[in-house]
Chains A and B, each alone.
Chain A
Amino acid sequence: MSLRQLLIPLPCYLGPLGLLRRPLWFPSTVGSWRAQSSRSQSHWNQVVSEAEKIVGYPTSFMSLRCLLSDELSNIAMQVRKLVGTQHPLLTTARGFVHESRHNLQLRGLVVLLISKAAGPSGLDTACQNDDMVSGIYSCQRSLAEITELIHTALLVHRGIVNLNELQSSDGPLKDMQFGNKIAILSGDFLLANACNGLALLQNSKVVELLASALMDLVQGVYHENSTSAKEKAITDDIGISTWKEQTFLSHCALLAKSCQAAMELARHGAEVQGTAFRYGKHVAMSHKIHSDLQPFIKEKASESATFNLNSAPVVLHQEFLGRDLWMKQIREAQEKGRLDYAKLRETIKAGKGVTSAIDLCRYHGNKALAALESFPPSEARSALENIVFAVTRFS
């Protein structure tokens, strides 16, 4: 029985580390990679669990080192003090625990799959100990872990609150200050671990790629924060091309550059690196649009559900309609200063925004598939294709 076969029956694809990981809630990832309607959910789970089998086990030992450190137990202890406050870090943390079943470390998974799909380059790897498990170098596994660490760190840093904007409903100022403190420290801790892991890879090109991915991500989060501020969201006027630029920074750059770095670690040339970059970029883009579309295509959307006014269908809707008409529609959907999302959703669904967002999603899906064509057929390549099929399916 191979190691791979041994690992497959484990309830959690994270392998032995997963057991440790969940109670501590920490270095997991965000739920945004979840498909949302129940039918596509089961399809999605199937795609992912197939993919997980292909890569053997997706984590490296770095997360173990993280988990066993004093700092993490310190964080876990401090977070307990936050229970009962309104700090968003708690929601983020709660998400790690309660939704861990559906929490897919998809970024890491994609990096591993593309590493396997590309295979060895024939040249010596950049890895010092280039032991291969399930066709993936150990340094590529570390890279997958680093990708997740960077993503999670920014997720935590995204949840900082502005102290001067607090409402009385947010509870005592002290709690919020403390929450901020813990959020900064835990985010910094994850970033420091990512830096450490990167240094161990002994490849400055990879360090540069991931550092620039971090820079992109920070800028992306900055845009997202400033557009999601309540009042501003409505008045924000961006076209779809600006939207795509910002979405590239916030959702695609990390995956694209990690995929490229995985190729660099196996000493693949610029061409293969470019292909991997394109796959990462387009699959992330089509996934983002797919999740943006969920509130508009779900059959049983709850009436009160809100949606992001800077999501792809809304931005496209605004572009078709023109700024003035869109502002008029928003005013019409407003009641006593509050936005009636159900009404606005129907208005948007009546326009062309939703269908053209679906088209855009498929466009990026096709680009991702085209990138994969240069890899030889393999089960890893099929898994990468299936991920694209899953995020471009709308029925």
Chain B
Amino acid sequence: MATRWWRWRWRWRWRCGCYWRPAARSPRPGFPGSAGLPGPRAAADARAQMSYFNLVKSITSAFQNVYELSRFHHTTPGVCCRSKIQSGEQYTDPFKLGWRDLKDLYEDIKKELLISTTELKEMSEYYFDGKGKAFRPIIVVLMARACNIHHNNSRNVHASQRSIALIAEMIHTATLVHDDVIDDASSRRGKHTVNKIWGEKKAVLAGDLILSAASIALARIGNTTVISILTQVIEDLVRGEFLQLGSKEDESERFAHYLEKTFKKTASLIAHSCKAVSVLGCPDPAVHEIAYQYGRNVGMAFQLIDDVLDFTSCSEQMGKPTSTDLKLGLATGPVLFACRQFPEMNAMIMRRFSLPGDVDRARQYVFQSDGVQQTTYLAQQYCHEAIREISKLRPSPERDALIQLSEIVLTREK
């Protein structure tokens, strides 16, 4: 156990290209900061309140047997979910499966952007170039099919459900455009940001425009329940952005604050669009809740891994500069965990890494600590929960693809 642990850590360090410190610290028990996940479900909250020690124990025990066999052996050691799932079906690439319903996704989005002005149209379409991961639309159509099959074995996707996939991608893109102006970012997905090419004034309008087009598409579905569900996303996104403005003095509060922000800025969109397609496909409220919880948990895991990659990945892989969060003064999961081991980071967090050298020092602390691993564990916990939820649905290739997708979330490198 101990040697495996050691090797594990070593691999991480090696992968991250960061400092190798032989004095590996043993994880500290009882991390109090992980209290209180956002979201309506108390079950998930209790899970998160599990002490850090138990958390590590449960993860390592789950992963003990599959570690050597894992097909992701060489990329990430943390994949442990597969052992629990016995679907019996041949795995196909979930992206391929989802993409069958998303042919012409970007063409169809462009059709929603009915704009006469050439430049404005060009700006609004800039990110719909087919180079994004389309992670959200894929989850949405897979969830739609999984719910439809669960409900009445229907092998179809309703047009309205497919619209939700488009709308989710549009809302996501609108926030990207605004976020890039707010953060003064200069590159995304390997190209210049809208604000760098056309200026901030026009970029903000392009974001508003995409949002209005998404709202029109949403209204045309003609279902007021679905409108309310996705409106919640827009509110959450703005509130998440506000949460990001402030930082909390108290450590445990700070972690809850971070998780709440993560939910609002990332998980809410995935959770609510999953819920929306389930509402359109199946009348059973229990299924809506499953869809919502799957989306919420996958969304949380997705963002936690994103925060990890901001430390461990290089810019070419991500298509955007790394360590951006630190440079923006944001303390994400890895930093907050590292701060448990290096209390001297507190001051840095409070001044939002504003002094010269803060960013580099914070990076070093993170790599000397278990911050990256612990954030990954937390993401794994969310994935377990997502898989537990989605497994309640009747088996289908799409359901299994969703299970597999939650694993991919953990192992992705960009």
Contact = CB atoms under 8 A, between A and B. Distances in A.
B202 A225 contact: yes
Contacts of A205: 219
A184 B205 CA distance: 10
B117 A223 contact: yes
Contacts of A188: 178, 237-238, 241
B69 interface: no
A235 B238 CA distance: 39
A218 B212 contact: yes
Which 8 pairs from chain A and chain B are nearest by CB?
A208-B219, A211-B215, A162-B199, A199-B231, A207-B219, A215-B212, A214-B212, A192-B238
A80 to B, nearest CB: 14
B213 interface: yes
Contacts of B223: 204
Contacts of B209: 215, 218-219
A152 to B, nearest CB: 13
Contacts of A181: 181-182
Given A191-B211, A218-B208, A221-B205, A160 B218 contact: no
14 contacts: A161-B200, A162-B201, A164-B199, A191-B208, A192-B238, A195-B215, A196-B231, A196-B234, A207-B219, A211-B218, A214-B208, A219-B115, A222-B120, A225-B202
A215 B216 contact: yes
B53 interface: no
Interface of A: 70-71, 74, 78, 154, 157, 160-165, 177, 180-181, 184-185, 187-189, 191-193, 195-196, 198-200, 202-205, 207-208, 211-212, 214-215, 218-219, 221-223, 225
Nearest to A72: B242
Contacts of A195: 215, 231, 234-235
B2 interface: no
B242 A204 contact: no
Contacts of A207: 215, 218-219, 227
A163 B213 CA distance: 27
Q: Is the interface of B mostly helix, strand, loop or mixed?
A: helix
A217 to B, nearest CB: 8
B245 A74 contact: yes
B237 A157 contact: no
A157 B208 contact: yes
B204 interface: yes
Contacts of B199: 162-165
B26 interface: no
Interface of B: 114-117, 120, 178, 181-182, 184, 199-202, 204-205, 208-209, 211-213, 215-216, 218-224, 227-228, 231, 234-235, 237-239, 241-242, 245-246
Given A212-B212, A215-B213, A187 B224 contact: no
Contacts of B227: 198-199, 204, 207
A180 B216 CA distance: 27
A290 B218 CA distance: 37
A189 B238 contact: yes
B181 A160 contact: yes
A191 B234 CA distance: 9
Contacts of B202: 222, 225
Nearest to A156: B204
Contacts of B216: 208, 211-212, 215
Contact of A189 (B115, B182, B231, B242): B242
A203 B224 contact: yes
Q: Which of B120, B208, B218, B239 has the most CB of A within 10 A?
A: B208
Contact of B205 (A163, A185, A225): A225
A322 B23 CA distance: 82
A192 B208 CA distance: 11
Contact of B178 (A78, A184, A212): A184
Contacts of A221: 205
Nearest to A157: B204
A208 B231 CA distance: 13
B200 A160 contact: yes
A223 B208 CA distance: 14
B115 to A, nearest CB: 7
Contacts of B228: 199-200
Contacts of A214: 208, 211-212, 215
A214 B59 CA distance: 49
A198 B231 contact: yes
